[in-house]
Amino acid sequence: SFETYNSKTELLCLVKQNTPEPIYEADELLSQNGHEVLRLPPYHCDLNAIELIWSLAKRNVGSKNVSQTPKEFEDLTKQSFQSITADDWKKMTDHVIHVEDKYKRRDHITENNLESFIINLRDSSDSSDSDDSLHVEFLDSDFDYSD
């Protein structure tokens, strides 16, 4: 409920809590036909093979784009996309799978070590309520992300 003393942050939180998730027609159509829609996390182009192919095409165009007319530039762009092979796609998707596996391993390490991350708000040697000190204990291995 809305109170006149709510802060902007509290109001935005209420809006977020009461706003239904959007329903996308494409998702509904796919779901009705037995498909599950998966979405990539935002700002992770390294998990999107299409972005990697796009980058490859741009590099091809950029390496040959010197004082071109608009028509020559258009032809060069078409040629760049046409030169992308099934092998290029396989390399990019394999790379995405490798990066995804790397993220999964890191997430697994983080999830396992979160249990050993302890925050004590009171020093155990001092039972006084007036001295609330913050102690953070962690293992060095919690931050070992080597592959």
pLDDT tens for each residue of 66-100: 888 999 999 999 999 999 999 999 999 999 999 99
Average pLDDT, the chain: 80
- Which pLDDT does position 108 carry in this prediction? 76
pLDDT band at 41 (very low <50, low <70, confident <90, very high): confident
User: How do the domains of the chain map onto residue ranges?
Assistant: 8-143
pLDDT band at 107 (very low <50, low <70, confident <90, very high): confident
What secondary structure, in 3-state letters, does the chain show?
CCCCCCCHHHHHHHHHHHCCCCCCHHHHHHHHCCCCCCCCCCCCHHHCHHHHHHHHHHHHHHHHCCCCCHHHHHHHHHHHHHCCCHHHHHHHHHHHHHHHHHHHHHHHHHHHHHCCCEEECCCCCCCCCCCCCCEEECCHHHHCCCC
pLDDT score of 120 more than 60: no
- Which pLDDT does position 118 carry in this prediction? 53
State pTM to two decimals. Answer: 0.55
